[in-house]
């Protein structure tokens, strides 16, 4: 039995209208609570925001949507449905991988299509290995889904269940890269099923194999894109919450919390004082702890994941070899992760994620134009260049990135750009993301499961945390789950599991 907030919880203030806050709001509303959402920006979204630039509609945060049934659970809490509010397009391929030797591989979530593609790319032995890998990834996900991902922890002792033994038997406490290598001999293929370790903030040779569940989400469950851009999801969630009775206060920054003993009695903004019975805090951990006036004691300081430079480029042309999502790998691999996580150097031979959302939704750009997002991982500001350094570094880095893209086949990209926005760790720092990274605390063993910063903070009886820094972690599905878990801490009600029963169309679509 996990701890819940005691005392009255009739009116809950949710600080932040990002995916975590909106998920919490919907689940709270479904449990009969009155909800007020306070957001510093003029619209919902948080990290999944929207930038309008010269006729281009730019997603400022995540570009990959997996496991839509988790979002559907939040809509279902208020009697709504994801399919009625968001037009989700399955991406085929989910990714296109382009390697430094000139080879390409389309990554399909459909088993037969992927097996055929791997046989073409690497031969029959690795195609058979893929079948075994896919089966293992599915078993890993089913083992982790309820007990480890969709679960609150009050003590490491809560791990002591039969599911822990099943996870151990699956090799979940081994190393991610080594587990993939059991099935695939081609080094290029191994990258496709382990690059996701970057989201966890740990090199694949050191990351727990349990985190290969992210590869399940990316390569098996399917990748989707909402028409209107990724921002369409938080916009729809906010709409559903408002219709269910939530009050939204946009353009208000929270400046403090009033206390009466261990209870938060009001949320104070630049413009108002909002009395409350409980509060859900979704800002990054240092901001949340500062508002609470206390932070949990940990044996070691938090380690943060690498950051990223993102170039948003609106172009007058595009390149046909690009898919919606294209992974452009350099020659280097282990050295790249060492630079990102240990030495703090910029990638000497970068691996990049290039997203062209206008492949799927041309309305995001003016007629005949295309959007390209180029994400280049980089060290966070704790071990790499600090925010002040990026002010001078950014123009040179941008020019070097464009030269590298030109060498990799995007000929003339610099001259094709009509409008652009470069986002660096300095910008993430301005947004109050710790260590200048949008990916928060890394998923090291000491920051995983019950060892991750918990969503309840000692000394405060009625405040709950949500977002990527707390349980269960980083990525769109975990962040949505964090909001659901925060709501459960307040309501104490069993959480709905329509997706598990296979009842939602989104879940059914994810399995096809």
User: 269-316: per-residue pLDDT in tens?
Assistant: 999 999 999 999 999 999 999 999 988 888 778 999 999 999 999 999
Contact 474, 468 (CB under 8 A): yes
Question: Same domain for 172 and 283?
Answer: no
User: 218-247: per-residue pLDDT in tens?
Assistant: 999 999 999 999 999 999 999 999 999 999
Task: Say if residue 369's pLDDT is above 80.
Answer: yes
Task: Say if residue 368's pLDDT is above 60.
Answer: yes
| Res 157: pLDDT | 59
| Res 503: pLDDT | 38
**Beta carbons within 10 angstroms of residue 114's beta carbon:** 23
| Res 509: pLDDT | 38
Question: Same domain for 162 and 136?
Answer: yes
- Compute the mean pLDDT over every residue in the chain, rounded to the nearest whole number: 91
- Residue at 487 is within a domain: yes
Question: Same domain for 356 and 427?
Answer: yes
**What average pLDDT does this structure show over 57-70?**
95
- We report the CATH number of the domain holding residue 287 as 3.50.50.60
**What average pLDDT does this structure show over 125-144?**
95
| Res 449: pLDDT | 74
User: 442-466: per-residue pLDDT in tens?
Assistant: 988 788 777 789 999 999 999 999 9
| Res 505: pLDDT | 37
Higher pLDDT, residue 18 or 211 = 18
Final residue in a domain of this structure, among 219, 243, 262: 219
**What average pLDDT does this structure show over 95-112?**
97
- Residue at 11 is within a domain: yes
Higher pLDDT, residue 429 or 3 = 429
**Band of residue 146 on the pLDDT scale cut at 50, 70, 90:** confident
Task: Say if residue 135's pLDDT is above 90.
Answer: yes
Task: Say if residue 163's pLDDT is above 80.
Answer: no
| Res 494: pLDDT | 56
**Band of residue 499 on the pLDDT scale cut at 50, 70, 90:** very low
| Res 1: pLDDT | 60
| Res 297: pLDDT | 80
Question: Same domain for 253 and 340?
Answer: no
Question: Same domain for 406 and 484?
Answer: no
Task: Say if residue 357's pLDDT is above 90.
Answer: yes
Domains held by the chain: number: 3
- Residue at 21 is within a domain: yes
Higher pLDDT, residue 154 or 111 = 111
- Residue at 94 is within a domain: no
Classify residue 446 by its DSSP letter.
G
Q: How far is Cα 477 from Cα 484, in angstroms, rounded to an integer?
A: 11
Task: Say if residue 511's pLDDT is above 50.
Answer: no
Segment holding 376, helix H or strand E: strand 370-378
- Residue at 400 is within a domain: yes
Question: Same domain for 342 and 421?
Answer: yes
Question: Same domain for 486 and 458?
Answer: yes
**What average pLDDT does this structure show over 72-87?**
97
Q: How far is Cα 485 from Cα 74, in angstroms, rounded to an integer?
A: 11
Question: Same domain for 275 and 191?
Answer: no
- Residue at 101 is within a domain: no
Residue 37: partners with Cβ closer than 8 Å, 6 or more residues away: 13, 14, 16, 17, 21, 22, 25, 238, 241, 246, 247, 248, 249
Task: Say if residue 427's pLDDT is above 70.
Answer: yes
Task: Say if residue 108's pLDDT is above 60.
Answer: yes
**Beta carbons within 10 angstroms of residue 205's beta carbon:** 16
Q: Give buried/exposed letters for 459-471 (b at 16+ CB in 10 A, else e).
A: ebebbbbbbbbbb
Question: Same domain for 140 and 209?
Answer: yes
**Band of residue 190 on the pLDDT scale cut at 50, 70, 90:** very high
Final residue in a domain of this structure, among 219, 247, 280: 219
User: 174-187: per-residue pLDDT in tens?
Assistant: 999 999 999 999 99
Question: Same domain for 310 and 431?
Answer: yes
| Res 507: pLDDT | 39
Task: Print the domain residue range for 336.
Answer: 304-436
Q: How far is Cα 12 from Cα 36, in angstroms, rounded to an integer?
A: 6
Task: Say if residue 504's pLDDT is above 90.
Answer: no
| Res 44: pLDDT | 97
Task: Say if residue 198's pLDDT is above 90.
Answer: no
**Band of residue 64 on the pLDDT scale cut at 50, 70, 90:** very high
């Amino acid at each position: 039995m996990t701890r819940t907030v005691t005392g009255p919880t009739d009116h809950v203030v949710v600080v932040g209208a990002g995916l975590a806050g909106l998920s919490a709001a919907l689940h709270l509303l479904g449990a009969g609570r009155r909800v007020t959402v306070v957001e510093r920006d003029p619209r919902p979204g948080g990290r999944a925001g929207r930038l309008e630039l010269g006729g281009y509609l730019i997603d400022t945060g995540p570009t990959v949507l997996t496991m839509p049934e988790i979002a559907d659970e939040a809509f279902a809490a208020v009697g709504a449905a994801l399919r009625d509010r968001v037009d989700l397009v399955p991406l085929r391929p989910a990714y296109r991988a382009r390697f430094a030797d000139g080879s390409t591989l389309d990554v399909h979530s459909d088993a037969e299509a992927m097996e055929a593609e791997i046989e073409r790319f690497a031969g029959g032995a690795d195609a058979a290995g893929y079948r075994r890998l896919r089966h293992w990834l599915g078993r890993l996900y089913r083992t982790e889904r309820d007990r480890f991902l969709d679960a609150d922890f009050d003590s490491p002792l809560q791990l002591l269940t039969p599911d822990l033994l099943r996870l151990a038997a699956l090799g979940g406490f081994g190393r991610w890269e080594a587990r993939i290598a059991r099935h695939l001999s081609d080094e290029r293929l191994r990258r496709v099923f382990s690059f996701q370790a970057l989201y966890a903030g740990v090199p694949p040779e050191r990351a727990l194999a349990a985190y290969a569940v992210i590869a399940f989400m990316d390569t098996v469950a399917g990748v989707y894109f909402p028409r209107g851009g990724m921002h369409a999801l938080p916009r729809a969630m906010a709409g559903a919450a408002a219709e269910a009775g939530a009050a939204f206060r946009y353009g208000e920054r929270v400046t403090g919390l009033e206390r009466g003993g261990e209870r938060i009695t009001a949320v104070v903004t630049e413009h108002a004082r909002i009395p409350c019975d409980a509060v859900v805090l979704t800002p990054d951990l240092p901001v949340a702890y500062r508002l609470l006036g206390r932070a949990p004691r940990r044996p070691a300081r938090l380690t943060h994941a690498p950051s990223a430079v993102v170039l948003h480029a609106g172009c007058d042309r595009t390149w046909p070899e690009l898919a919606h999502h294209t992974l452009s790998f350099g020659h280097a691999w282990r050295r790249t992760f060492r630079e990102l996580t240990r030495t703090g150097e910029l990638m000497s031979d970068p691996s990049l994620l290039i997203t062209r959302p206008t492949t799927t939704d041309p309305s995001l750009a003016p007629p005949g134009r295309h959007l390209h997002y180029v994400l280049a991982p980089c060290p966070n500001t704790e071990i790499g260049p600090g925010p002040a350094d990026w002010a001078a570094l950014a123009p040179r880095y941008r020019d070097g990135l464009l030269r590298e893209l030109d060498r990799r086949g995007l000929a003339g990209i610099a001259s094709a750009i009509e409008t652009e926005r470069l986002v660096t760790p300095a910008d993430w720092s301005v947004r109050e993301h710790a260590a200048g990274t949008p990916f928060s605390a890394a998923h090291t063993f000491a920051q995983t499961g019950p060892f991750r910063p918990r969503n309840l903070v000692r000394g405060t009886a009625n405040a709950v945390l949500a977002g990527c820094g707390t349980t269960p972690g980083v990525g769109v599905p975990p962040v949505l789950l964090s909001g659901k878990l925060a709501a459960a801490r307040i309501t104490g009600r069993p959480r709905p599991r329509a997706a598990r029963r296979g009842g939602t169309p989104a879940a059914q679509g994810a399995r096809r």
